[in-house]
Amino acid sequence: MNRVVHPIEEESYRRLRARLDTSHFPALTRAVVERVIHSAADLAYADDLVMDEGELAAAHAALHGGAPVVVDVEMVGAGITRRETVCRLRDAVAGPGLTRSAHAIRLAFEEVGPGALWVIGNAPTALEELLTLDADPALVIGLPVGFVGAVESKAALRASGLPAVSNVSEKGGSAVAAATLNALLYHPVSHPEEPS
């Protein structure tokens, strides 16, 4: 992907790196940490985010190989640039014991099947629902925000053993969830050397 970086973004990253040394992180982890911090202007994310470089590498390959991207709310989708997303919230309905967000996740899974990248930045119940499905995700970006259910749903995601990016605190939200996916989207794809 050829992406022109605006001078304001370049300066923002320069200032971020002047205040926080991210050089010790592996490449994809660093890309995620820096883009999340950039999106939230919150340096504390460096110690709050939880991810695994190997899982990020596999997700990066899946993303650039065309795996579908599912979002819990349209605001997350709006923040993901240069990539179509699936959001079924408009089609979802709440029912007994089922929030609209959870129903949207069921509908999205029926549409995309296994192997997708799931980006949840708003609703803890969407993340909880995803964990009940046999989604076999390429990655779950589980960063819902809030004081009710957010911490617990993210802890359940980490305990599930699914490939994931999450954080420990109540913080999160659409902007940081989209930023996480964008970090993988913008990171260059390495091509193996052609035999001579």
pLDDT computed for residue 2 by the predictor: 66
CA dihedral 27, 28, 34, 36 (to 10 degrees): -170
Per-residue pLDDT tens digits for 49-86: 999 999 999 999 999 999 999 999 999 999 998 899 99
Mean pLDDT, rounded, for 163-183: 97
Find, among 102, 135, 123, 129, the residue nearest to 174 by Cα: 123
With 0.85 as the threshold, say if the pTM is over it: yes
- Catalytic hit among 38, 60, 103, 187: 38
Higher pLDDT, 192 or 101: 101
Mean pLDDT, rounded, for 152-163: 98
Q: How confident is the model at residue 4 (pLDDT cuts 50, 70, 90)?
A: confident
Is 191 among the residues known to form the active site?
no
Sign of CA dihedral 86, 90, 92, 96: positive
Is the pLDDT assigned to residue 190 strictly greater than 80? no
d(Cα 92, Cα 45) in Å, to the nearest integer? 32
